[in-house]
Amino acid sequence: MPAYLLARLFSAVWVTFGVVSLVFFMIHWVPGDPVDVMLGESGAAADREALRHALGLDQSLWLQWGQFLRGVPVGDLGQSLYFQEGVSTLLAQRFGATAELAAAAFVIALVIAVPTGIIAAARRGSAWDTGAMGFSLLGVSIPNFWLGPLLVLVFSLGLGWFPVSGRGAPLSLVLPAITLGTALAAVLSRMIRSSLLEVMSEDFIRTARAKGLSPYQVWVRHGLRNAWLPVLTVLGMQLGALLGGAVITETVFNWPGVGSLLVESIQRRDYPVVQGGVLMISLCYVVINLATDLLYARIDPRIRLGQL
């Protein structure tokens, strides 16, 4: 296996270990005692000790850390303090909804951003360009917890086209996905535009024009195919923002995903679930980034051969 891929895989494993550890220590260092949550502050001392022992909290922090590290690979993330159920079971129940929302938002972002970015670059300086970049600036600046209620106000309460919240019929996916996808669409269209403009000033484009290729061939076969590469690298990182944004969007729309479970668990001080939820979303992000990097190496031989 080429050195680049090995290095990339190794770094992903290391980062995963770091993420798991950081989340563990974050939860264990901050104030707040799970025993207080379960028994209330007035519980009898003996009961508290018994519970502390049952939860393994009387062991040293290092021992607990080791146990947690051993548990993660086999999907053992501890027990919820509130539901009396395994954290991984709870997360598994909610994961589908989050994946569905994120995927829909991603598709919406692509459908908006790709044509917008291309038109803006092709008609640089025109009203199309100004309009597209204006839209992009608006999209980046509008917070999803405000865009969500606005869309509900107009399209659910006003026009009655979509349900206000919750997950049910396919229509219920539309507004949350638009809310979540808008920021990504805005960032992506701007990136596509600038990357395409950069590529179109390259020598090989001049050559392609000089040898008499049609504009379609120049733009799509020579321009777009090269413009995609830088967009792809940043896309992996932008998907992280999408996953983070999903936490807020899910709360806005009462969407039963990992994000809304996370926020509910913070309010209930259900630490193991918070820990598991943060871990799950972050690990998804690590995997996505690894996948984009590997894909990038596959598409662009220069990366594979270590020439870039």
Partner 1 sequence: MKTVSIAGLVLISWVFLSLIAPWLPLHPERMALPAILEGPHSHAWLGNDDLGRPVLDRLLVGARTSCWVAGGVVSLSLLFGTLLGSSAAYLGGYWDRVLVMLLDIFMAFPGILLAIALAGLLGPGIGNLVIALSLVGWVGFARLARAQVLSMKQREHVLAAQALGTRRRRIIQRHLLPLIAAPLVVEATFAVAAVVVAESGLSFLGLGVQPPEASWGSMIRDGVRYLLVAPHLVLAPGIALFLVVLSVNLLGDRLRDRLDVRGGRS
Residues that bind partner 1 (CB under 8 A): 11, 14-16, 18-19, 22-23, 26-27, 30-32, 137-138, 140-143, 145-146, 149-150, 152-153, 157, 194, 197-198, 201, 240-241, 243-245, 247-248, 251-252, 262-263, 266-267, 271, 274, 278, 281-282, 285-286, 289
Using the minimum distance from each CB to partner 1, give the nearer residue, 50 or 65: 65
At closest approach, how far in Å is the CB of 44 from partner 1? 26
Q: Tokens 């501890």 label which residue?
A: 78
- What is the nearest approach in angstroms of partner 1 to the Cβ of residue 271? 8
**C-beta closer to partner 1: residue 33 or 50:** 33
CB of 190 to partner 1, least distance (A): 10
In one-letter notation, the amino acid at residue 224 is L
By beta-carbon proximity to partner 1, the closer residue of 23 and 108 is 23
CB of 235 to partner 1, least distance (A): 14
Which C-beta is closer to partner 1: that of 30 or that of 127? 30
State in angstroms the smallest separation of the CB of 96 from partner 1: 19
In the complex, least distance from residue 276 CB atom to partner 1, rounded to whole angstroms? 11
Report the alpha-carbon distance of residue 78 to residue 59 in Å, rounded: 15
Q: Which residue has the tokens 């598409």?
A: 299
State the Cα–Cα distance between residues 179 and 48, nearest whole angstrom. 45
User: Whose Cβ is closer to partner 1: residue 79's or residue 98's?
Assistant: 98
Using the minimum distance from each CB to partner 1, give the nearer residue, 50 or 268.
268
Beta strands in the chain (DSSP E): none
| Of residues 280, 270, 281, the one with CA closest to residue 244 | 281
In sequence order, what are the residues at sequence separation of 6 or more whose Cβ sits closer than 8 angstroms to the Cβ of residue 5?
294, 297, 304
Other CB atoms within a 10 A radius of the CB of residue 239 amount to 21
Half-sphere exposure of 102 (CA within 13 A, CB side): 24
* Packing angle of the helix pair 3-29, 61-71 (nearest 10 deg): 130
